[in-house]
Amino acid sequence: MEKLRALNPHLPMHHVSASRFANYGRVLDAYDFSLWLSYLDTQTVVPPQGNIYLPADPGLEALPPFTEVRDTLFAGIAIQAGYCNGNSSLLNGLEYHKSIEVIVAQTDLVLQLADYGDMVNFTLDVAHIEAFFVPAGTALELKPTALHLAPNKLSDAGFKAAIVLPQGTNTDLPAEAKIQKNDPESRLLFKKGKWMLAHPENPVPIAKGAVAALIGPNLQVHYK
C-alpha cells in the first residue's frame, strides 16, 4: 500500500479492506471461489494489448459457486458470469448498472471508483475518484451506485478478474429500443443495463456512441 500511495500521489489510494470501501461495496468472504480462480488462471489469457471482456463464459458458469451467487447475492434472478482480462492502467471512463456487480480478482488489481451521487447533471469531475487495491483472490460486491470500469493492472503481466452481473448486462440494446430522450440520464445509456461516462481521451466508446461525460485528466495507476 505504501508503495502504491507513493507512486500515485494524484489518487486517494486505499486497501479494499479499509472502512472507506463500505461506500462502494463489501468484501465477500462467505463464498469459495477457488475453482473460478483456477479457471481464470489456466483457461483464460490476457491479450497482448488492451482488454478483453466476455460477459458470459460457460466454463465459469458451470463451476461452483455460480448457483450460490445467483440465489443469494442476486436473489434468484438470472445472472451471467464472465471475465475481464487486460492491460489497462488508465481510468478511460466509468459505468454503472443499477444492480450489484460481483468481481473476483484472480490477480492483484486496482479499481478506480466514484459514487452516483457525485455526478452533476450526469457528468462527473474525476476529483471525486478514489482508488482501491484489491489483492489476488479477493471477491467483492459493488453497490449499484458504484461507478467503475475495467480494473487497472499492477504488473506487466496484466490483470484477470471474473465479473458477475444480471443476465444480458453489457450486451447490445435492441434496435427497436424506445429511449425517452427527455430523460437527461438517457444520454449515458450505452448497453443493456449499462450507463457509461466516457473520458474525452478514450475515443473507442465515443465512436460507438458513448458520451464524454468525465471532467479532468485521464487518471493513471502507476505500479513501478
CATH of the domain at 23: 2.60.120.10
Q: Is residue 129 part of a domain?
A: yes
Q: Is residue 144 part of a domain?
A: yes
Collect contacts of 210-217 with beta carbons under 8 A, ≥24 apart. 210/93, 211/187, 213/122, 213/123, 213/124, 213/187, 213/188, 214/91, 214/93, 214/94, 214/123, 214/124, 214/125, 214/126, 215/123, 215/124, 215/125, 215/126, 216/125, 216/126, 216/127, 217/10, 217/126
Q: Is residue 72 part of a domain?
A: yes
Residue 23 is placed in which grid cell? 461506500
Euclidean distance between CA atoms 24 and 68, whole angstroms: 22
pLDDT tens-place string over residues 76-93: 999 999 999 999 999 999
Euclidean distance between CA atoms 205 and 214, whole angstroms: 13
> Which domain range does residue 124 map to?
2-170
Q: Is residue 207 part of a domain?
A: no
Euclidean distance between CA atoms 219 and 26, whole angstroms: 24
Segment 30-48 mean pLDDT: 98
Q: Is residue 59 part of a domain?
A: yes
pLDDT tens-place string over residues 174-210: 999 999 999 999 999 999 999 999 999 999 999 999 9
What is the domain count for the chain?
Answer: 1
The answer to whether the CB of 34 falls within 8 A of the CB of 73 is no
pLDDT tens-place string over residues 131-143: 999 999 999 999 9
Of 177, 139, 150, 144, give the one whose Cα is nearest residue 54.
150
Q: Is residue 192 part of a domain?
A: no
Q: Is residue 65 part of a domain?
A: yes
Residues found in the chain = 224
pLDDT attached to residue 91: 98
Q: Is residue 76 part of a domain?
A: yes
